[in-house]
Structure formats: structure tokens, C-alpha cells
């Protein structure tokens, strides 16, 4: 029945379009994009494009159809409802808007585990968007076949709030029951990628799969590690390790037997990217077929990684196989180590701490990091950011659903859980200094190797976490943030302030958790 709906929809789109090109390969897509003036060819062969008004996700313009399937399941405090009848009008109008257009479509897969795989068809107006999503989802050797998911992406379409029930002329609307996504009024390509993740996040728990906004890699002994973290915490940087093949960069599922990548590519931030700090990602940005999004070029067509005049959210989209070390098949066994990354701009949290299962659940639901002064207009001092499950905007269900699944997986796997602070020490932002990447990498290595299993620990008084007293290659003082502050009373005051922020944020989960117990 579901396949029939998507097949009929594809047939209608094909009948409307003046030209519909299926499953074009990168050389064709790049050639057509350049011919249509959609972008420029950068040094090395990457396609550099701009996205216009929207250079990031339009969170307030995303909707979920409120129907019999979603009514009692969706976390409506975090997601905006759209009436089914409004969605039907929107669908009819967007289908009418395909009349006479040239469209590009790709048959792709989401989910490296065949048991939990979605067959995705994406229709879009431009060659570069088709190349983008081809880079990021899993490519089939023989494209085609019936689809489970259809995405219709029309940046030129303007929604009518009165007619379609939207907020503005921009819309990202998800019908969870029919697995149908309609995107209009925005050319920011991340909307396509994240709509697939949102669909997966809704349906995966119903199949006893934990969906995760995290990176994953695998060690020489087959030991899998997961890296959770919000933007700017080092998730992509730390998971890209020449000694540990990458399973995936951003979105995964955790079953009772192991983990699998949802995607077939990476969508890496490129602001201040350097060949020294992140050589693999840097090289990927200069490969043919990579899409550079809102990254300016100089006169010689070299990317200007430090130029944020369009946005700080500059990105590169490239296939996984662009990287030198990738886990075959995009799958791995049961995780041995789980890492929560945070960039604490208050300078309070230790550079590494071991969490027990209860603490792990607390920090997973908290999803903490801190924005620093200057990153957004009006921010003059560090601001705490809490994003449940390290990805609240993409979580259709209540965070406690994902939290319970994580607790089950941790109990079953016996995985070690660490909180790693990649933020500030010796004081908050503007006073202290950023924890250097060499120290973070050394502490991460100690966690992944099992070196910390036998390390002597102290109990950190803020949250009761275990902090190692000594790690070879790391100065002892670096492990104790309080000892690095010139004014320990100021540290204690800031620590108490941060602890209260955590408590106030977590209080909203208490009633739901108690009702479930």
C-alpha cells in the first residue's frame, strides 16, 4: 500500500514535469549545475554554491501533520502541528507547481542496515541539490525500485500561510504516516538531509531502534565508539581519526546487535577549516563532486575558509568514500564507549569525567553546551544551551522515549560513558583559555583504549562524576578546573550557577519520567 502511494506520486510528478532526469551521476550533475549558473567550480573540482536568504535551517517553518498516528506520539511542545487538510492542499499546490519544470530525481537509501532501511526518492529543481543529497544518502549500485519515502523539494515555491497553514512562505512539512516530505521556499540543502533524519527518529523507536544524532567510528579491535555533541563541540573533528575508520559522521541507529549509519556521506562545517587541524576533511573539500555550501572563493577559485560574510554555517557535503578510513558497509558492533561532548564556555566542567548510567541519562536528556559571546547578535557573555538528546530540533518524540532506549542499550552493552569538555578552563570565555585539541585527543585516547578503566578517580562535587587524578601525557593540574582558576571563590559561584541551569532545565522531564515509572 505504502509503495503504491509513492509510485503513484512519482508517476504524477513525472507526468507534470517537462523534463525529469533520474539518478544522474556526479559528472553530469556538476556539468549541468555549471551550465545553469547554479555555482562555480572551485580549485580541486568541488562545486561551490550559495543558498540565498536561508543559510541554515528554518526551525519555525517546520511542521508535522497531526493525525491518528502522530496525535499521541509526537512531542508537540517541540514540534508544530499541521492539519491534514492543510497538508493535502499544500501537496496539491506543490504538485501543480511541478508542471512544466525541469526536475532532477535520485533513488537513494537511508540506513546501512537492510533490516531498518528506507528507500528514498528525492525530487528537486536544481542539479546541485540532487548532487548534495546523492552525496549524503546511500547510493545504490542499481538505482530504482519502489520507494518508502518521497521528498519533493521546490525552493521556488512560496507557501500561503492562510491557505496552507504555514507561518511564512517557507515550509518544511512532514507526513509521518505516509513518509512524505514537502519543502518549499528555501534553498538551504540541510533541510532535505534533516527531514530524512526526522522521519527516521519518529519511526525507529517503534522498531526498537535508538536513533542518534552522533558520529561513530571503530577501533582496530572492532571496538565501536559513539560521539554525541552539538555544533562547535568537536564531534566531527574527534571522530575523524586515521587509526579508527569512520562508520558515520552525524546520524545513526543502535539496535540490540550494533550500530548502523543512516547516511552515505558527511555534511561538515568548514568555518576556519585547516589542513593541519583537520586534514581529512580539508582534503575532502577539494575533491571533485563535493558540494561547498555558502563558502566563498577567491580570485583563483580557492575556498576562503575564514570568510563568514555569508554565514558562519559554511558546509561541505561529500561521500563517505572521499575519506581515507571508512568502516566497510557503514555498520559496527555494539558500542564499547559513548562520549558526550560539550564546549563549556563557563570554564566549570572537567576536561573528562566518567558517568554512571544514571548520570549518562541525565546528560543525554540535558544535551548541554554553551554559546560564546559574538556567535549571535546580542550575546555578550556565555549562554547555556540545552538540546535534548543532543538534537532536539530533529526529535519528533518526547526525549524520554529516546532516553529510556539509551538506558536499555547502555545496560545491555556495558558501554563506558564519558563527558568530555572541549570548552574553556582557568575561567570562562574571555578570561580562561580553550582546552587545547592535543589534550582533548590524549584524554579521548585514554578513554577509548580502556586506560582509564583502572585509573584512580576523584568524585567531582558538581554532579558526582568520576574524574581521573592522573593521565599520562596530561598535566595533573589540567584535570582539575577549580585549580586552574585564579579566584576559586569565583569558580565556586560559577559552578553553582551552572548547576542551577542544569537543574532548571532538567525539571521539565521529571513529571514525564515519573509518570512512566
Give the active site residues: 57, 194, 213, 231, 235-236, 250, 315
> Which of 209, 149, 203, 190 lies closest to 331, judged by CA?
209
Taking the chain, what is the end-to-end CA distance rounded to the nearest angstrom?
Answer: 37
Which stretches of 166-257 are assigned E, i.e. beta strand?
171-175, 180-184, 210-218, 224-229, 246-248, 251-254
Q: Say how many C-beta atoms besides its own lie within 10 A of residue 501's C-beta.
A: 17
Beta strands 246-248 and 118-124, pairing class: unpaired
In contact, 395 and 401? CB cutoff 8 Å? no
Nearest partner of 283 among 228, 327, 338, 325, judged by Cα: 325
Backbone torsions φ then ψ of 428, nearest 5 degrees: -75, 180
Distance CA 233, CA 435 (A): 11
Cell of 96: 501543480
Cα three-residue angle 421-423-428, rounded to 5 degrees: 125
* Stretch (H or E) spanning 496: helix 488-516
Main-chain dihedrals φ then ψ at residue 250, nearest 5 degrees: -145, -35
At residue 182, the 3 state secondary structure works out as: strand
Amino acid at each position: 500500500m505504502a509503495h503504491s502511494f509513492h509510485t503513484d506520486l512519482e508517476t504524477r510528478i513525472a507526468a507534470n514535469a517537462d523534463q525529469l532526469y533520474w539518478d544522474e551521476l556526479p559528472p553530469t550533475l556538476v556539468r549541468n549545475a555549471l551550465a545553469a549558473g547554479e555555482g562555480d567550480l572551485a580549485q580541486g573540482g568541488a562545486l561551490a554554491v550559495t543558498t540565498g536568504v536561508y543559510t541554515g535551517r528554518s526551525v519555525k517553518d517546520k511542521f508535522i501533520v497531526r493525525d491518528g498516528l502522530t496525535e499521541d506520539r509526537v512531542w508537540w511542545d517541540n514540534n508544530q502541528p499541521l492539519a491534514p487538510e492543510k497538508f493535502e492542499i499544500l501537496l496539491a499546490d506543490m504538485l501543480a507547481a511541478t508542471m512544466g519544470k525541469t526536475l532532477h530525481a535520485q533513488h537513494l537509501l537511508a540506513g546501512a542496515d537492510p533490516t531498518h532501511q528506507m528507500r528514498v526518492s528525492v525530487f528537486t529543481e536544481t542539479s546541485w541539490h540532487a548532487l548534495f543529497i546523492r552525496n549524503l544518502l546511500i547510493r545504490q549500485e542499481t538505482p530504482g525500485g519502489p520507494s518508502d519515502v518521497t521528498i519533493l523539494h521546490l525552493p521556488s515555491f512560496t507557501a500561503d500561510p492562510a491557505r496552507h497553514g504555514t507561518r511564512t512562505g517557507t515550509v518544511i512539512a512532514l507526513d509521518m504516516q505516509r513518509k512524505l516530505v514537502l519543502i518549499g521556499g528555501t534553498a538551504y540543502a540541510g533541510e532535505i538531509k534533516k527531514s530524512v533524519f526526522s522521519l527516521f527518529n519518529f519511526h525507529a523507536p517503534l522498531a526498537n531502534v535508538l536513533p542518534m544524532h552522533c558520529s561513530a567510528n571503530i577501533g582496530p579491535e572492532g571496538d565501536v565508539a559513539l560521539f554525541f555533541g552539538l555544533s562547535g563541540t568537536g564531534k566531527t573533528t574527534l571522530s575523524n581519526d586515521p587509526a579508527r575508520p569512520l562508520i558515520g559522521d552525524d546520524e545513526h541507529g543502535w539496535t540490540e546487535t550494533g550500530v548502523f549509519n543512516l547516511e552515505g556521506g558527511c555534511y561538515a562545517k568548514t568555518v576556519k577549516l585547516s589542513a593541519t587541524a583537520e586534514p581529512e576533511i580539508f582534503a575532502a573539500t577539494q575533491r571533485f563532486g563535493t558540494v561547498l555550501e555558502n563558502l566563498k572563493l577567491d580570485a583563483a577559485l580557492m575556498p576562503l575558509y575564514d570568510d563568514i560574510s555569508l554565514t558562519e554555517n559554511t558546509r561541505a557535503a561529500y561521500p563517505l568514500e572521499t575519506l581515507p578510513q571508512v568502516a566497510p558497509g557503514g555498520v559496527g558492533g555494539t558500542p564499547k564507549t559513548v562520549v558526550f561532548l560539550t564546549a563549556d564556555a563557563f570554564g566549570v566542567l572537567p576536561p573528562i569525567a566518567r558517568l554512571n548510567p544514571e548520570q549518562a541519562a541525565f546528560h543525554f536528556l540535558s544535551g548541554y553546551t554553551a554559546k560564546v559571546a559574538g556567535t549571535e547578535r546580542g550575546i555578550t557573555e556565555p549562554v547555556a544551551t540545552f538540546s535534548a538528546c543532543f538534537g532536539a530540533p530533529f526529535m519528533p518524540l518526547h526525549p524520554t522515549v529516546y532516553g529510556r532506549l539509551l538506558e536499555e542499550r547502555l545496560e545491555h552493552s556495558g558501554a563506558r560513558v564519558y563527558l568530555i569538555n572541549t570548552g574553556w578552563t582557568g575561567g570562562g570565555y574571555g578570561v580562561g583559555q580553550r582546552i587545547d585539541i592535543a589534550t582533548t585527543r590524549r584524554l579521548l585516547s585514554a578513554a577509548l583504549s580502556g586506560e582509564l578503566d583502572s585509573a584512580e578517580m576523584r568524585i567531582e562535587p558538581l554532579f558526582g562524576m568520576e574524574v581521573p587524578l592522573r593521565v599520562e601525557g596530561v598535566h595533573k593540574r589540567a584535570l582539575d578546573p577549580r585549580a586552574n582558576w585564579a579566584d576559586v571563590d569565583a569558580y565556586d559561584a560559577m559552578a553553582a550557577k551552572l548547576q542551577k541551569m542544569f537543574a532548571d532545565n532538567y525539571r521539565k522531564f521529571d513529571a514525564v519520567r515519573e509518570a512512566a515509572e
